[in-house]
Structure formats: C-alpha cells, structure tokens
C-alpha cells in the first residue's frame, strides 16, 4: 500500500468529499484523523475506519479557530503521531445575490474557507519540515475558475485557496513538502443536495444534465485525485491545480 505508515488529517470529513477522501487514505494504509464540526459524524466515521485496521480518530474542530486546531493537533500527536499529510477540505457555500450578501455572511465564508488554510497549515507544517516530507492538498472549486452567479463570496474565497496553493508551493518547494489543490466541479454531496438545490433553484440532476458529461461527479472521484497527490508518484508536482470537473473547465 503506497501510503502505509503515513499520518493524515482531513478537515470537513464527516461526509461528502472529505469522508470519501478519508476512506480512500485508509484503504491505502494511512492513519487518518477526521476533523469536522459534526463531532458525532466524525467519530462514527473514524470508528468505521478503525475496523479496517488503521489508526483513526474523529474530532470536533473549528478549522478557523487556532485554539481548536492546536488542541486537535495535540490529540493527533498523542494518538497517531506526526502529521504527514493535510487535506484542507472543510468549507461552506453561500448562494446569495451579491447585493444581498451581508458583511457577516462574507466574513463567515472567508473564515471557514480561507482563514482555515492559514490556521490548519501553520499548525502542521513543523511536523513536515522536521521530516523533510509532507503533502498539503487544498480543495478549491471550479466556481473560482469559471465564476458563478449568486456565489461571489464563495468563489472569491476559493480563488484565494488557489492563490494560497501556488504561493505556498513556491515557498516550500525545496523542503520536501508539496502543495497542490483540487477544484471539484459539480459533485453530488449532502451539502449540494441540502443547500445547492435551494440556492440554484433547480435540481441537482437538472444542472448535471447540462454539464459536458451529463452527470454529477462522485466524492470518490475527488478522493482519488487528492490521494494521488499525496503519494510519492506525485513528488515532482507542486503548485498545481488538478481539475476534476467532468469537462466543466479546461486549462
């Protein structure tokens, strides 16, 4: 197994893309921490991973709060070990006409989607620098690449994630640490089903039918790309945006 012995943190991993990613890492032999505001979901998912024979913990973590993140890293060190891989996946969406977007809504999106990049990455980088090996994979969005009406705050935050990835990758390139990002396209997740349908005003299937492949992506599609970027096969890839969007955006 290519990731046996690696220790991984996946944020926002109680469901959707994060959960699929945590499950894929576990199948590849990695030990995994599931961070999420949904503590019950995180712990339930971690228990399922433990049954596969890897170390796994589930924790309630506010990824925009440094004290919360630092406490979770301490728990990780005590129960699993040093951090090898960080997947910055936690995020929220916002479907709102721009002129109706409040400062409070804007700030919340930026806290969770963008400030979390600073807080979580700074918390784990010392482990990676000491090991001279590390992988940071950020989940951005194709909405930041194409633009998306009624999603200006969300797309702006995810555009920041792409810029964060490129800049940090250059800064860390000589250290043995790579930094990449995966911008999902239209992926069928609980968040999309719960919030996207109301925000878009049409069904998930109707939107998917208009995409080049005519169907939504699956969380497992994103997980496969994320896990690849964490392997030694990807050790000469950094600062890269790996599009996984069914043809919605080409670069």
User: What are φ and ψ of residue 202, in 5° steps?
Assistant: -140, 170
Catalytic residue, from 25, 76, 154, 186: name it: 154
Q: For residue 14, give both structure tokens.
A: 């109680």
Q: What pLDDT is recorded for position 205?
A: 74
Determine the pLDDT at residue 215. 80
| Predicted TM-score of the model (pTM) | 0.94
**Average pLDDT for 87-114:** 97
The residue among 118, 114, 115, 96 whose CA lies nearest residue 105 is 96
> Three-state DSSP class for 186?
coil
For the chain, which domains are there?
7-189+219-234 (3.40.50.720)
- The pLDDT tens digits of the residues spanning 8-65 come to 999 999 999 999 999 999 999 999 999 999 999 999 999 999 998 999 999 999 999 9
29 CB-side CA count, 13 A: 8
Is residue 236 part of the annotated active site? The answer reads no
Instruction: Examine the pLDDT at 192 and tell me if it is beyond 80.
Output: no
Q: What is the pLDDT of residues 213-230, one digit of tens each?
A: 878 889 999 999 999 999
Q: Which two tokens stand for residue 166?
A: 């490129």
| pLDDT of amino acid 173 | 98
- Look at residue 240 and tell me whether its pLDDT is greater than 80: yes
**What does the DSSP 8-state code read for residue 100?**
G
Task: Give CA–CA dist 53/242, Å, rounded.
Answer: 30
Q: Report the C-alpha gap between 67 and 58 in whole angstroms.
A: 17
Q: Alpha carbon 226 to chain centroid distance? A: 9
Show the 3-state SS of 124-163: HHHHHHHHCCEEEEEECCHHHHHCCCCCHHHHHHHHHHHH
- At 185, the pLDDT band (50, 70, 90 cuts) reads confident
């Amino acid at each position: 197994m290519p990731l046996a012995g690696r220790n991984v943190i996946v944020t926002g991993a109680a469901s959707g893309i994060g959960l699929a990613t945590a499950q894929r890492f576990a199948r590849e032999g990695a030990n995994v921490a599931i961070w999420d505001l949904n503590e019950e979901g995180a712990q339930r998912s971690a228990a399922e991973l433990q049954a596969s024979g890897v170390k796994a913990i589930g924790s309630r973590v506010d990824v925009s709060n440094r004290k919360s993140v630092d406490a979770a890293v301490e728990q990780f060190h005590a129960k699993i070990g040093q951090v090898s891989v960080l997947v910055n996946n936690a995020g929220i969406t916002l479907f709102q006409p721009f002129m109706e977007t409040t400062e409070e809504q804007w700030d919340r999106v930026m806290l969770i989607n963008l400030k979390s990049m600073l807080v979580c990455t700074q918390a784990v980088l010392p482990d990676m620098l000491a090991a001279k090996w590390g992988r940071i994979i950020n989940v951005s969005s194709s909405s930041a690449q194409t633009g998306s009406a009624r999603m200006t705050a969300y797309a702006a935050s995810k555009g920041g994630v792409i810029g964060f990835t490129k800049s940090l990758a250059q800064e860390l390139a000589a250290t043995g640490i790579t930094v990449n990002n995966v911008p999902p396209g239209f992926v069928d997740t609980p968040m999309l089903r719960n919030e996207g349908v109301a925000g878009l005003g049409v069904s998930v299937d109707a939107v998917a039918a208009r995409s080049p492949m005519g169907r939504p992506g699956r969380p497992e599609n994103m997980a496969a790309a994320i896990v690849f970027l964490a392997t030694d096969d990807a050790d000469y890839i950094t600062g890269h945006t790996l599009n996984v969007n069914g043809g919605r955006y080409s670069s």
